[in-house]
Structure 1
Amino acid sequence: HVVRDAEEDALPLPHGDRELPLMITDRAFAEDGSMRYPSLDPSLRTVPGVEDAYAAGVLGDVLLVNGAPWPVAEVSAARYRLRLLNGSNARRYDLALDPPPPSGPAFTQIGSDQGLLDAPRGHEHLPIAPAERYDLVVDFGAYPVGTEVTLVNRLGTGTTAQVMRFRVARRAKDDSHIPAKLSEVERLDRAQATVTREFAFRSGQFNGRHGWTIGGEAFTPTKIAAQPKLGDVEIWRFVADLHHPIHLHLVHFQVLSRGGKDPAPHDAGRKDTVDLQPGEAVEVIAR
C-alpha cells in the first residue's frame, strides 16, 4: 500500500498516471513455467527455510517488475514519480538509466523507506538492497520522443543486467516540479542518545542447521534483546560477517555512520532498512 498524508499531497510532484509503483524481484522458473525455489518443504506449509546451500539467499535469473518479466512502460516526455521497492529474496541492484539524460541527474530522490526527505538529492545511480524503498523523480522530458530508456542493473550480467524499459511516446504538458523543501525531518544528534547497543550478525550452526546468530545466539522469538523506553533516543551499532540488509520494525532511524565514516548519499532520510557489507559496522540512531 502507498501511504500518503496532507503534507505530501500538497506538493507539486508528479501524480496520477505519472506516479508508478515499481516492485522489483528476481525469480527462477522451470520449463513448464512453475517457480523453482529450494524450500525444505515444497508446499511451503510446514517446515520453514531453504536448503543449506541457499542459506545466504536465493537468486533468480528472471527479473520481474510488478510481476512481469522485463516490462516496457510507455511514458510521456514529462516528469514521473517512481516508487521503487526491492522485493527480491537476496538480490541487490545498482540502478541506472541507459542512456543517461543529457542534462541533470538520472534520479532525483525525494523519499526513502519511511517517507519524504527534507530536500531532494540527485543520483546518477542507486544501490538498493532487499526491503529498501526509494521515492524518485525521473524527467523523461529530457529525452526526445521515440527514445527508449532502459532501467539497468549495474550489478547484473546477462538476463539480470536489464530491469525494464521506458518508451518516451509523446510530448505532454508538465505542471509538476520538485520543490527545494520537501518536509520537516527531525535530525537526531548523537549527544541525545541514552544508550548505545551493538548487534553482531554472524553465520553459524545450530540445531544441526546452518543459519544466523545475533550476539552469538540463535534467534529465539520469545527472547527480548532490547527494551528501549518510550521516547528515548538510542544508537544501535550493527556488524555482520556476511553481506546482509538489516531491517527494523515499528520504528524509523537515521544512519549515523558507515564503516566509521559519514553515511553514503543513498542513506539519507528516515529509514528502516540498511545494507551491511561484510565486516562493516553501521550506526543508526532512533527515537
Structure 2
Amino acid sequence: MREHDEGRSGRAHGLTRRRMLGIGGALGLMAATGLSASAALARRPSITGAELRSAVPLPPPFQVPLPVPAVLKPVGTSGGGDRYEITQREASAEILPGVRTPLWTYEGTFPGPTIESRRGRPITVTHRNELPVPTVVHLHGGRTPATSDGYPTDLVLPEGWHDAAMHTGHGSAHGMPAMRDPRAVVTKLTRDYTFPLDQRPTLLWYHDHRMDFTAPAIWRGLAGLHIVRDDAEDDLGLPAGPRELPLMIADRAFTADGSLAYPALDPTLRVRPGVHEPYLAGVLGDVILVNGAPWPVHEADAARYRLRVLNASNARHYELEAVTDDGRRLDLVQIGADQGLLAAPVTHRLLPIAPAERYDLIIDFKGVPVGSRVRLLNRLGSGRTREVMAFRIARKASDDSRIPRTLSTDLPTWRRSDAVRVRDFSFRAGQMHGGHGWLIGGQPFDPARADVTTHLGDVEIWRLVADVHHPIHLHLVGFRVLSRSGGPPLPYDAGLKDTVSLRPAESVEIITCFDGYRGRYLFHCHNAEHEDMAMMANLEIV
C-alpha cells in the first residue's frame, strides 16, 4: 500500500509494466501455493472459486413461487426513532420442495426480515444471539457510527460461551496463534446497533461479519435486506407496492439429507477457520436461490416493475439478462446503484453483478404476451446455474408509473483536484504464516494494525489493482468510479457505489470523501472466502 500527495502524482493511471509483472508473479504464486489455476483461473475470468455439487435431487426451474421477505415491525417508536428486535437462532425451512434444511437465521427465516426505514429517522436494532457461536452484525452500505458498524471482533457471545473458546483472529488454519484485539467491544447475548440512516435512499443489507467466519455464517442464512426511503424518491412515480420486488440472489449446495453443503475445515465454526483446499478461491453452489427459493417464478402484470437486486452470493458473479420465450432481450433500465439513485437512467442489455453489489432496475413487461414468460438468466453460469428466475405474465394491467429523465440531483461532485492524496492498493493471493491467504498490499489482516489513517472530511483517490476477480467494499462511505485500467468507467459503474468489481489484472480508480463519523472501519474483498482468509484492512478516520 502506498500513498502520495495528488500534487506529486505524475504517473499514468493505467497499469505500468512493473504492476503487470507483479500481477503475473501473484498468479504464479497462486499456482505454486495451491491457490491453483484449476480453482481460480482455468474457468472464465469472471468466476473465482470451485463449485460444490448437490447430493439431493433438485427441482425443475420456475416451479416454486418467489417469496418476498416479510417487513419487520418496530417494537417501539419514540423520540423520532424506531426500535427493532431480532433474534439470531437455528431454524429449519423448506428451501427445496419436500426437504427440510437446517439454517442459522435472523428471526427464523432466510432471508431475514426486511427493515424499511426513512432517511434521517434513526433506528436501534437489538440483536439477541441464540446461535452456538459468536456473531457480529454489519449493515452493509450504512453510514453508521463505528460502535455499531459491526467490526469483526466486536462479538456478541452466546449463552455459555467461554472466553477460552473465543477466537478473534486468523488462527490455527494459518499457522499462528489467535490474535487478540485490545479494542474489541464484546457483549454477552445481546447488543444494540444504532443506525442514524442519515443517507440517500437505497437498498442496504445486513449480514454476519465475524472475523474469519463470515463466509460460512452468511452461507448458513445470516443475511437480510434493509431499505431506506425518502419523500423525494417516493414522488418520482417509480413502480411501487407489489410492483417493487427485492431480489436477493444467492447460490447454495445441498447434502443428501437436505442440509447445506459447505467445505469448512471446522463444521462447528467454533475454532478453526477456513475451507478445504479446492475452495480456497471461493465457494460456489449449484443451486441459484432468489429470496431463499430455488429458481423461483413470479406472476407479474404486463407493466413496469422495479427490481431491487442484491448479489448475496459468497463468491459467484452473475451477468444478468432478461429474455422472453421467443428470444427477445428486454432492457434492464438501471435507476440506482449501491448507494442510491443515479442522476439519470442507464439502459443495459447485460448487467454484471459481483458479490455484495446492488442494482436498482426497471423492467417493462408491457409488450410481453399474457401467458408467456420472461426468464432472468445468468450468462456466466453453465447448466442449471445459467437460470436465475422467471416472471410469468399473468394479466394486462394499467400502469401509471414512469422513469423520470432526472432521478436525483444530490449526488456528490468530487473532482480529481479535490483529492488531498492518492493511495495504491494491491489485492492478491499470497502466503502468510506458512499457509495460503489473500492479501492487501502484501499483508494479511491484523485488527491491531492501522493500515490507512485519514482525516474526517478528506477527499482521496484510491487506485486498486487485482490478480483475480475481487469485489472491493468500503465501509461507511460511498465512492465514484473514475477509471478502469486507464480508460473511462463502464456503463454499470454509474452512480455512487460502496462495492466495486475488480476484474482479473485490472486497475480501478475510485474517489471518495471520508465524512460521516470518526473511528475504526474496514475495507475488504467481498468474496467472502477471500475476506475470511485475511483480505481485509483497517481504515481509521480521525
C-alpha distance 105-146 of structure 1, shift in aligned 2 (>3 A): closer
What's the counterpart of residue 123 of structure 1? 348
Q: Secondary structure at the match of 2:452?
A: coil
Give the letter aligned to residue 375 of structure 2.
T
Deviates more, 1:113-122 or 1:97-106: 97-106
Give TM-score scaled by structure 2 length: 0.52
Q: Secondary structure at the match of 1:201?
A: strand
What's the counterpart of residue 512 of structure 2? 286
Q: Secondary structure at the match of 1:12?
A: coil
Structure whose CA Rg is larger: 2
C-alpha distance 69-198 of structure 1, shift in aligned 2 (>3 A): same
- 1:117-159: per-residue Cα shift (whole Å, max 9, x none)? 0111111110000000000010111211111010000111101
Flag as ranges the 4+ runs of structure 1 deviating above 3 A: 100-105
Between the aligned partners of 2:253 and 2:327, the Cα distance in structure 1 is: 36
1:232 counterpart (458, 478, 485): 458
What's the counterpart of residue 110 of structure 1? 335
Residue 241 of structure 1, CA deviation: 1.0
Residue 49 of structure 1, CA deviation: 2.2
Q: Secondary structure at the match of 1:32?
A: coil
* 1:268 equivalenced with 2:479 (yes/no): no
Between the aligned partners of 1:24 and 1:45, the Cα distance in structure 2 is: 27
8 Å Cα contact 2:375-2:388 kept in structure 1: yes
- 1:162-184: per-residue Cα shift (whole Å, max 9, x none)? 00000000011111000001101
Give the letter aligned to residue 506 of structure 2.
E
Q: Secondary structure at the match of 2:456?
A: coil
Between the aligned partners of 1:236 and 1:100, the Cα distance in structure 2 is: 44
1:23 counterpart (248, 252, 273): 248
What's the counterpart of residue 255 of structure 1? 481
What's the counterpart of residue 447 of structure 2? 221
- 1:231-281: per-residue Cα shift (whole Å, max 9, x none)? 111000111112111111000000000011000100001001011112110
8 Å Cα contact 1:102-1:143 kept in structure 2: no
Between the aligned partners of 1:133 and 1:144, the Cα distance in structure 2 is: 29
Between the aligned partners of 1:268 and 1:100, the Cα distance in structure 2 is: 30
Between the aligned partners of 2:284 and 2:503, the Cα distance in structure 1 is: 18
Structure 2, unmatched stretches of 5+, are 1-225, 514-542
Q: Secondary structure at the match of 1:217?
A: coil
* 1:146 equivalenced with 2:146 (yes/no): no
Give TM-score scaled by structure 1 length: 0.96
Residue 222 of structure 1, CA deviation: 1.9
Give the letter aligned to residue 117 of structure 1.
L
8 Å Cα contact 2:484-2:509 kept in structure 1: yes
Between the aligned partners of 2:448 and 2:393, the Cα distance in structure 1 is: 53
* 1:174 equivalenced with 2:174 (yes/no): no
Give the letter aligned to residue 142 of structure 1.
G
C-alpha distance 187-103 of structure 1, shift in aligned 2 (>3 A): farther
8 Å Cα contact 1:26-1:59 kept in structure 2: yes
Q: Percent identity among equivalent residues?
A: 61
8 Å Cα contact 1:102-1:142 kept in structure 2: no
1:88 counterpart (301, 310, 313): 313
Between the aligned partners of 2:231 and 2:238, the Cα distance in structure 1 is: 13
* 1:74 equivalenced with 2:299 (yes/no): yes
C-alpha distance 100-223 of structure 1, shift in aligned 2 (>3 A): farther
2:424 counterpart (190, 195, 198): 198
More helix by share: 2
8 Å Cα contact 2:337-2:359 kept in structure 1: yes
1:209 counterpart (435, 447, 457): 435
Give the letter aligned to residue 90 of structure 1.
A
1:63 counterpart (288, 304, 319): 288
Deviates more, 1:174-183 or 1:95-104: 95-104
Give the letter aligned to residue 382 of structure 2.
T
C-alpha distance 17-205 of structure 1, shift in aligned 2 (>3 A): same
Deviates more, 1:125-134 or 1:49-58: 49-58
Between the aligned partners of 2:401 and 2:328, the Cα distance in structure 1 is: 18
Between the aligned partners of 1:71 and 1:102, the Cα distance in structure 2 is: 20
